[in-house]
Amino acid sequence: MQKYNSQQLMDIEHQYGAHNYHPLEVVIAKADGIWVEDPEGKRYIDMLSAYSAVNQGHRHPAIIKALKDQADILTLTSRAFYNDRWPLFAKKLAELTGKEMILPMNTGAEAVETAIKTMRKWGYKVKKVAANKAEIIVFKDNFHGRTTTIVSFSTDPDGHDFYGPYTPGFKIVPYNDLKAVEKAVNKNTVGIMVEPIQGEAGVVVPDDGFLAGLGKIAKKNKILLAVDEIQTGFCRTGKLFAYQYEDVNPDIIILGKALGGGVLPVSAVAANQSVLGVFKPGTHGSTFGGNPLACAVAMAAIDVLIDEKLTERAAENGAYFIARLRELQKRSDKIKLVRGKGLLIGLVLKKSAGRARQFTMALKEKGLLCKETHDWIIRFAPPLVITRADIDFAMEKIREVLI
């Protein structure tokens, strides 16, 4: 097979691929653990983890073994038949989340769509909201995916504009504002959907008590609370799920990204039978959802998270990384704020420092692959298998760029 260099590959993509992304100018050809490599052999630390889909590290041996072993036996049946992997995956994920039922899908956006359909159908069948009047409360600066329904309640112009007519039934209120939520509730409200930490908005961490407050509002008004843990879940923030920092028991947990172990798209909605029981045969589904290959990979991905204590490692190394960045903030005239939990970290630049893209490009040249979010925030979210020695190495490069 003909070999191409990085520039040639980027040129081919620019010619034949739709320009719906603005990638950092690096081509990744190999990966292992926290390290990735370009076609020329230069190595980089991955500080993005495919937006937290690679929490277990690239090509974790146990996950790759599960993939290969299952691929030799059975890959796809559709849900027209039972298979021998999906029941075991459903049991494992239900026990992990503390919920009674699992509905499998493929991508995070599909899981969000499933949660929306769940809340609406529950509203009509259980809460008895008038037909086609159901409303779901969502939050400004949210990011839940890119389907036409989901972008209907996006407040990001890039994600929202020029895709109308938009799907009705959503009330957008300010994030971290319980009073605004209470004011938005009415007789047609069926659900609240929230990110425990807003990742794409720039790693925005709400005040303590916000999620617990949402839980109380939901319970008081007979509303379903759905937490979108697609990016924050599976140990990323130093808890198995980010909502566990507070005393709240969400009705619906939306899962994706790291559930696939950085190998396959796997997503799911977890809830009790009183919620997911609204679905009957033929009312919702996916050809690939719950396929044997994905289930085998997801079970291995969960085992790695637990067996390697990645929750504890994310908490400890995340606190260390944040502390090091805050030390740097005191000596840098470019850093305004460092925020985050665990290994989901946002470094907010002062506007006077210039655009974040110039710094992510400079970090790339020094061997760190980070990505800007908006024009003034750099996100650090390495695989959870990163060590303190790796963080120290990364901090040397960050200091060189930001001092």
Catalytic residue among 89, 139, 143, 241: 143
Pick the closest to residue 96 from 264, 298, 291, 296 (CA basis): 298
DSSP 137-148: EEETT-----SH
Which tokens go with 8?
């040639």
Active-site residue among 228, 234, 251, 321? Answer: 228
Q: How far apart (Å, rounded) are the C-alpha atoms in residues 263 and 294?
A: 9
In the block, tokens 């390495």 appear at: 382
Among this protein's residues, is 89 annotated catalytic? no
Quick check: is 143 catalytic? yes
Q: Which two tokens stand for residue 331?
A: 């000596």
Task: Write down how long the chain is.
Answer: 403
Identify the residue whose tokens are 């020029």. Answer: 162
Active site residue 309: no
Give dist(CA 141, CA 179) in Å, integer: 17
Give the active site residue among 127, 257, 364, 371. 257
Q: What values do phi and psi take at 354, rounded to 5?
A: 100, -175
Q: HSE (CB half, 13 Å, CA atoms) of 385?
A: 21
DSSP string, 236-276: TTSSSSGGGGSS---SEEEE-GGGGTTTS--EEEEE-HHHH
Q: Are 370 and 350 in contact (CB under 8 A)?
A: no
- Spatial separation of the C-alpha atoms in residues 182 and 263, rounded to whole Å: 41
Cα 403 to the center of its chain, rounded Å: 31
Coarse DSSP helix, strand, coil percentages of the chain, rounded to the nearest 5 percent: 40, 15, 40
Q: Residue 332 CB: number of other CB atoms within 10 A?
A: 19
3-state secondary structure 351-376: HHHCCHHHHHHHHHHCCEECEEECCC
Rounded distance, CA 62 to CA 304, Å? 7
Q: Which residues are catalytic?
A: 143, 228, 257
